Amino acid sequence: MRLSDAIETILQAVRAVNRYLDAQAPWNLHKQQQGERLAAVLAASARAAAQAAGLLWPAMPAKCDEALACFGLDPASLSETDRWNVDAPKPGAAVAESASLFPRVDAKTIEKPAGKASAPAAPAKEKSKPVEEKGLIQYDDFAKLDLRVATILEAEKHPEADRLLRLRVDIGQETRQIVAGIAEHFDPASLIGRQIVVVANLAPRKLRGLESQGMLLAAHDSRGLRLIAPSADTEPGASVS
């Protein structure tokens, strides 16, 4: 088996754990005070993550050692056999907090290769484009919009459009598929679990072959795109007015 095939097989298992967490919704179990079930879900997910770190160690040893240390293990004392059969975290063990193992890289901060020296250019100030004013509407027009809080359960790139993401969101009574043109601004994995505001009664529309059953709200300025979201954790399906 090629190393790339082995890594992909392990990552498929990691994605399965991620789907398991989305389906079990531990944040809801916490709200519902289902402590026993919450503990079981988190323990199973943590053990699966630790085992994945052990299996991925040959491909990225430094990062996997960081992950294993979070689960209470001393990477320096582990043999290869120990890494193939990680038994952690132990019941009752504390899981250490850690910074993101794979932080997002801002392309603007990447240093360019050294070349011919030149005088630094004065930074140009970006100006926001003036907002186009739209005509007045009546209150009844606005009242027709069904705005709801939604929680993102899944996010992935559109198979046929680089600028589109396919989202599956929970809007309370049901889940919906929303196709949004935000792929240039957000990594799909960073959106899982985030809350947004969607127009729930927008007529379905196909975007490059995928049906979008609503529209998310966002704000755009010179600094980038910001998703409109409630300021605190809110029940999916809550009405926005």
Contact in structure between 167 and 178 (CB atoms under 8 Å) = yes
For residue 144, how many other CB atoms are within 10 A of its CB? 8
Residue ranges matching CATH 2.40.50.140 in the chain:
139-239
CATH no. of 3-85: 1.10.730.10
Identify the weakest region by mean pLDDT among 19-28, 116-125, 216-225, 228-237. 116-125
**What DSSP designation does 75 have?**
G
Give the residue with greater pLDDT, 134 vs 75.
Answer: 75
CA-wise closest residue to 212 among 165, 173, 148, 151:
165
Residue-wise pLDDT for 144-188, tens only, equals 899 999 999 999 999 888 899 999 999 998 999 999 999 999 999
Q: What is the mean pLDDT of residues 194-201?
A: 94
Residue type for position 179: V
In sequence order, which residues have a C-beta less than 8 Å from that of residue 217 and are 6 or more positions away? 147, 196, 197, 198, 199, 227, 228
CA–CA gap between residue 204 and residue 211 (Å, rounded): 6
Q: Which fold has domain 139-239?
A: OB fold (Dihydrolipoamide Acetyltransferase, E2P) (2.40.50)
Residue type for position 116: K
Residue ranges matching CATH 1.10.730.10 in the chain:
3-85
Residue-wise pLDDT for 116-131, tens only, equals 555 565 565 555 566 5
pTM score of the predicted model: 0.46
